Structure 1
Amino acid sequence: ILHTVLHKLRKTAMAEPPVVIWEQEVRSLLHYRDLIPSLEVALGKFSSRDSAEVIQPVRSTIPLQKHSGFMGLMPTYMERDGILTTKFVCFYKRQEGSALPAVQASVVLLDPENGNLKAVMDGEVITATRTAAVSAISAKLLMRPGAEVLAILGTGKQAQSHYTVFTEMFSFKEVRVWSRMREGVERFIQSVGGPVKGCASVEEAVRGADVIVTVTGSTEPVLYSQWITPGAHVAAVGACRPDWRELDDVLMKDAIVYVDSREGAMTESGDIILSGAEVFAELGDVINGSKAAHRERTTVFKSLGMGVEDAVSAQLVFDQWKDKK
């Protein structure tokens, strides 16, 4: 017994001090070619509901009423993979043209055996990258073959990360973008370094589009069913609160709706809660083969983001950082 106690004390005492991995280094270490296969495996594990694979409660939130925001806490434990993480993320409803960030996030990686902190890393890059990667996975599974036109509603960081991964993974002939502010569209076109058509209205952007990504800060619907070509795929990323919307009721009820987490969607998604739409499946169900991918129908993937996505991303960053060192 004494030997065991001393061994554990020695291990704790010898634990290396936590590392801090800043934004630019996270960006240099996190690549879609590595992340997407890891996320597909993680989504399948989550949907298997095996507690030895993933333990992830629904995100808990604290309102920041004075600042028109809220803080979310997203812990995850992957027992078989030996990954224990928590993300702290603050969301804000900013005024148009505000210079303040809409999202701020940090991810902490811990040793599940000892409980000591292994790393603290920038969470904004992880959030933007893994969210875009999961949206791309949804398109890979659900968009119809031969898709040619991509429309992006929104021009913030999530719009940029989605543009990057969607143009890397797929061969769209045309990419369109819309924002409420013309300056946002111009800034987006200049920043992405690829061919993009700026659109003056949502309808102009989505008419005839095969894939539509909504990454707006809207609290009311901006995308309406009558503008969408039957069989289009929508990756709905904004509206992460139960009283926020991006899509109208008709679209939500007519489409086949997929989510990352059923529990999360029924708690946090205003698009689902307020429309009364039925959730058909999680992406992990499609990956596991337990639910069908209805490519021939109009599909909506409602993304809310999950702790397991952050956990896989953070572990990948940490492993890459160790290899680099």
Structure 2
Amino acid sequence: MLLHAALSPHATAALLPWKLLAEEIFAVLHDASVQVPARIVLPLAGGGSLFCMPAADSQLAMTKLITSTPANAGTPRPTIQGDVVVFDVATGSRRLTLDGPTITARRTAAVSLLAAQRLAAQPAGPLLVIGAGAQGKAHVEAFVAGLGVREVHVASRSTHSAQALVEHARSLGCDARLVSDIRLAARHCPLIVTCTPANAVVLHEAPRADAFVCAVGAFTPQMVELAPSLCLDFAQRGRIVVDTEDAAHEAGDLLQAGLDVPRLPTLAQALNAGPAQASGAVLFKSCGWGGWDLAAARLACAQAMQVAT
């Protein structure tokens, strides 16, 4: 299927059902033909960044080209903008052009979904989401569709955004509520997702022995969402899993806690360890990887071909 115009956010999302996307991410982790060079991050004037993230397997090649502009937060302009362009390896022709922010939101939440499916002691929740932006919304949708979560608690600096996410969760059939006391909510919820701009600590403790914390906001050494004491606590009494080896120079939460990040297991290693490991407190640190975008591109192309036929 050859589409020259970039698909809309809605059309892009329609090609990426949550459960199938999590399965495709798992498949990418076990595909020896996958190549993912280091992403290029170009700092821009004003505090923004330009990201170029290429990846390929034996059949498809893709690159995600997006800008991240934190200064757009609170304005009508999105903080993440750009496209994902997918090519056929055999012919070099363009297959699809997908909406970059939609790919980023959905593949990130689907990686969290896969980790929670395999590693969380209580995958059905209740769920506490800290941060009510695009990632907060995506994680609620992914966890509802993929884990059967039916109780959602939302915390955010923006009451308006938090209330909007609460209403969205209710539209998905959830008992959802706005919370102001994160510590109290963390005692109630075995599932916790932090997806903030990562410019300050938002989670100081996860007291439950069956806690599964998924931290996705921080992807540079300077960014942070989790208190260092919380990271150290997980290292001592539970498990810390990182999405890829790139976390060694990207996982700000863990680096600022002084942890030896290169020694931590990756998601692929944790999944290969088997379901017997899915017990106790787990911190999953997600920083992002071009392979996740490749998984989304593979699924989108497969789904688009089904629609075309």
The TM-score with structure 2 as length reference comes to 0.89
Uncovered stretches (5+) of structure 2, i.e. residues with no partner: none
Q: Tell me the equivalent position of 2:204.
A: 224
Q: Tell me the equivalent position of 1:3.
A: none
The one of 173, 178, 184 equivalent to 2:155 is: 178
Distance 2:260 2:179 in 1: 32
Q: Tell me the equivalent position of 1:324.
A: 307
Bigger radius of gyration: 1
The one of 189, 212, 215 equivalent to 2:195 is: 215
The one of 93, 111, 114 equivalent to 1:134 is: 111
Post-superposition Cα deviations, 1:126-171, rounded to whole Å, max 9, x if no partner, equal 2111111110111112111475421000111111111111112224
Q: Tell me the equivalent position of 1:62.
A: 42
In the alignment, does 2:265 pair up with 1:286? no
- Structure 1 position 62, deviation (Å): 0.3
Distance 1:147 1:28 in 2: 24
Q: Percent identity?
A: 28
Partner SS, residue 75 of structure 1: strand
Partner SS, residue 107 of structure 2: helix
**Do 1:257 and 1:278's aligned partners in 2 also have CA atoms closer than 8 Å?**
no
Distance 1:323 1:173 in 2: 31
Q: What one-letter code is carried by the residue in structure 2 that aligns with 1:43?
A: L
**Do 2:72 and 2:78's aligned partners in 1 also have CA atoms closer than 8 Å?**
no
The one of 168, 178, 183 equivalent to 1:203 is: 183
Distance 2:72 2:96 in 1: 34
Distance 1:290 1:139 in 2: 13
**Do 2:72 and 2:79's aligned partners in 1 also have CA atoms closer than 8 Å?**
no
Q: 1:62 to 1:249 in 2, by over 3 A?
A: same
- Structure 1 position 110, deviation (Å): 1.3
The one of 217, 223, 226 equivalent to 1:247 is: 226
Partner SS, residue 76 of structure 2: coil
In the alignment, does 2:63 pair up with 1:86? yes
**Do 2:88 and 2:94's aligned partners in 1 also have CA atoms closer than 8 Å?**
yes
The TM-score with structure 1 as length reference comes to 0.84
Post-superposition Cα deviations, 1:9-53, rounded to whole Å, max 9, x if no partner, equal xxxxxx9674532222112222123212111121234xxxx4xx2
Uncovered stretches (5+) of structure 1, i.e. residues with no partner: 1-14
Q: 1:44 to 1:260 in 2, by over 3 A?
A: farther
Distance 1:147 1:191 in 2: 18
**Do 1:215 and 1:236's aligned partners in 2 also have CA atoms closer than 8 Å?**
yes
Q: Tell me the equivalent position of 1:34.
A: 20
